[in-house]
A and B are shown apart, each in its own frame.
Chain A
Amino acid sequence: MTDGAEEVEFGETLVRLEGVSKHFSQGSGFLESIWPKPPVRATDDVTLEIKRGETLGLVGESGCGKSTLARTILQLIEATEGDIYFKGRNLAELSGKELREQREDMQMIFQDPQSSLDPRMKVGPIVEEPMKAHGLYEGEREERARELLEKVGLDPQHYNRYPHQFSGGQRQRINLARALSVNPDFIVCDEPVSALDVSIQAQVLNTMNELQDEFGLTYLFIAHDLSVIRHISDRVAVMYLGHVVEVADKEELFENPSHPYTKSLLKAIPAPDPRAEGREVILQGDVPSPIDPPSGCRFRTRCPNLIAPEQYDMDAEMWTRVRHFMREVDRRTFDVSDMDEASLRDRFFPDRQPTGEVGDVVDEAMVALTDPEDPNWDRAGELLVDSFAEESICAKELPVYEVESEYTDGTHLAACHLHKGGEELVAADTTDVEAEADD
């Protein structure tokens, strides 16, 4: 145990993140210093707590900043902004020596079990390496390494073998043994089972669970596979494009998802059962670039429940139609060469036409689109996006609200204006319209 750090009881906060951001610059050198390119905002303003003894699952699509966040927590990369507290100490304020000592309590396991093991070292010395680095267990290292190999489900006799003599799952066990060798409190696991076959995945997950019970470990478990997250986590944080959008206890998050992104993500997972309800495809398109992320709520550009701008007078149904039209124009998903204004209206507003200010904007966009000489997509798209999407509360404010937990006692945070409460909000529901458009 490191001197200077207070001991943390089980269930108390072990790691605390306050407004942690990590931005990467895109270039370096002289030109960059004169004409700097905008940074890649990998994680932005993340506030999270990890309690001692729990497994916090961190889930999100690739590129959402999960791994950056993990590396920032361990101070493998320096945070651009914000503070990280481990056992109450601000890690950024520690000196190099103190930080190295602190690392004894924080270990990491990587996704690729092959590249994280030195191919020229035997397994025993690999497991002993962290003990040497921290000057621990002098004289009893070999014994401890053998003991740990057995704990993680390997044969202690394999002390003298090389990593290539093991299968992927076994190599991940070696990684586990190495992480455990300095008796840490906190292990960051970055996609530890995603490179493994399903049957092997289950073996490693079970071992990780057993070790957690035995050594009182705290895990930050990063994965993109929601089934794995559901199996191993106590609490779950969902990330989208550098922001944490929802945090709740596992059962609560899976049974009562409150952020539209979490909902869409959960509906997108397939169940290994042909009789299960089919997955729904709600999210269209790709995640926007983290170089110039959308303002306000970052999910708003793909959100099926975007909130209507207050200044316009329309009901949810009309807003849904308008938003669908806006999106299709913006992405140019249809061919206008053989369409006139009437057929456009018939396609996007079959029941009734938008009126008032909304009607004016839609009219103007349609005129631009149906120009027989040169349909002006850019103008139509910009007009619609500027008048509607950019005026929504979702584009203007970054939301964080607490939602009432329905399934557990824990706090449930969702970063979505739908939970603002009080005022009347007109939210779109484009799932039906988009399904209709597909038919």
Chain B
Amino acid sequence: MSEDETLLEVENLKTQFFTEEGTVRAVDGISFDVKEGEIVGLVGESGAGKSVATSSIMRLVEEPGEVVGGTVTFKGEKLIDFDEGPDGEMRPSDEMLSNSQMRKRIRGREIAIIFQDPMEALNPVFKVGSQIREFIEINRGFDEEEARELAVDMLREVGIPEPEDRYHSYPHQFSGGMRQRVLIAMALACEPSLIIADEPTTALDVTVEAQILELVDDLREKYDTAFIWVTHDMAVIAEICDRVNVMYLGEIIEEAEVDDLFHDTKHPYTRALLESIPRPDQTTEELNPIVGVMPEAINPPPGCRFHTRCPEAREVCPEVEPEFQDVSEADESEHFVHCVKYEDVGYEYAEPLETQATEAFGGGLIETDEEERGEADD
């Protein structure tokens, strides 16, 4: 399935939000790639930086957020690229595409995006068909009649019954699942090479989710489109992805092929995440939750960011920033992990760290500045 042609390459991407309370390092140096026709998962809890990462790739980050570093290469073109200015400052390089090039050539045409809430992406006062038609006209230069035909074909393709009639319906006349199909139809209409799907099935029922995932799999085979699939749901990842990136607090902490990630799990966070979910196919008596909550990205823990909740944390973890390195054997597929356990920094001799994770029950407050909270109380 996966050809070795790299479509999208993200290197050391950094996005920060400059707020009054300080700088939020929402995405802090992530690197991953997407090959042609491949579905790559981006999984993590809320606040891990998944959505900021995808909007950064599309250059859709809004104030007060800003992409501050890294390179994103798509089919040899630089969507994001920086070089050093005369004062040692980072500034966009000459190779980086301009905003109008992004708008005209990349967004929609080459990289499409599907959001969690389809109602937000569709205009409620225009008919669904005309919205797809307009999108096709603008992006592919078809005339109105051709675009209309293609729009109806796409609606049929994504399994909308009575497509000729539904072409004239308004978005509110569709169910949630049908709206999501409309967005998929719209995304596919321009035959993009890459679709970014940001939690597209999270708001849907399992039965509808199953229909949509099946549809995506069929369409991927037919059009050879690559996907970046953003989700918090490990079950969806298991079902649809070829490769997976696990995010925690702005960093990618593990990257592997889907089977390796689930059956040869390397990072303690990924393992804890997998152990904390109930199974539909067997009865679990006791769940094994990850203790505590994810700290805020405004002031991330030093060293490994997961050490405050890690059941395997040792004294070395807060002191050493782990490398993101390939730990696979020579004959295995690549398996990157971001954990000092796999490095030669003295983890095996270090004492276990006393954290919440070593205690029986978690439930403490988010780490907050007491004084600041005191002011808020008044």
Interface residues of A (CB under 8 A from B): 61-62, 152-155, 158, 160-162, 165-167, 169-170, 173, 197-203, 205-207, 224-228, 230-231, 250-251, 254, 264-266, 268-276, 278-281, 283-286, 331-333, 335, 438
Contacts and interface: CB of A to CB of B under 8 A. Distances in A.
Contact of B238 (A225, A274, A331): A274
A300 B17 CA distance: 52
A390 to B, nearest CB: 19
B278 A231 contact: yes
B293 A272 contact: no
B77 interface: no
Nearest to A377: B162
A285 B162 CA distance: 12
Contact of B293 (A153, A165, A167, A264): A167
Contact of B289 (A154, A200, A284, A331): A200
Nearest to B236: A270
A227 B368 CA distance: 33
A153 B361 contact: yes
B278 A227 contact: yes
Contacts of B343: none
B263 A275 contact: yes
B362 interface: yes
Contact of B206 (A166, A226, A251): A226
A197 B277 contact: no
Interface stretch (B60-68, B91-99, B100-108, B280-288): B280-288
Given A230-B283, A272-B277, A167 B366 contact: yes
B232 A197 contact: yes
B290 interface: yes
A284 B207 CA distance: 8
A228 B289 contact: no
Contact of A274 (B210, B239, B272, B277): B239
Contacts of A265: 206-207
Interface in B95-154: none
B259 A274 contact: yes
Nearest to A277: B281
Contacts of B289: 199-203, 206
A226 B276 CA distance: 15
Contacts of A224: 205-206
Contact of B283 (A231, A279, A284): A231
Interface of B: 45-46, 156, 159, 161-163, 175-178, 205-211, 213-214, 218, 232-239, 258-259, 262-263, 272-274, 276-281, 283-284, 286-291, 293, 361-366, 368, 373, 376-377
Contact of B277 (A154, A155, A162, A202): A202
B339 to A, nearest CB: 18
A275 B158 CA distance: 27
B207 A202 contact: no
B243 to A, nearest CB: 11
Contact of B365 (A170, A199, A226): A170
Contacts of A203: 289-291, 362-363
29 contacts: A61-B205, A62-B205, A152-B363, A158-B365, A170-B293, A197-B46, A199-B273, A199-B289, A202-B289, A203-B289, A205-B278, A206-B287, A227-B235, A227-B280, A231-B284, A231-B287, A265-B207, A269-B206, A270-B280, A271-B279, A272-B262, A272-B274, A273-B262, A275-B262, A281-B207, A283-B207, A286-B208, A332-B161, A332-B163
A197 B44 CA distance: 9
Nearest to B238: A274
Contacts of A254: 280, 283
Contacts of B274: 272
Given A198-B277, A228-B278, A169 B210 contact: no
Contacts of B364: 155
A266 B206 CA distance: 9
Contacts of A169: 293
A250 B283 contact: yes
Contacts of B178: 286
Given A198-B232, A202-B289, A279-B239, A268 B210 contact: yes
A169 to B, nearest CB: 7
A307 B283 CA distance: 33
Nearest to B240: A270
Q: Which 4 residue pairs of A and B lie closest in terms of their CB atoms, listed nearest first?
A: A153-B363, A202-B289, A270-B235, A231-B278
B278 A285 contact: no
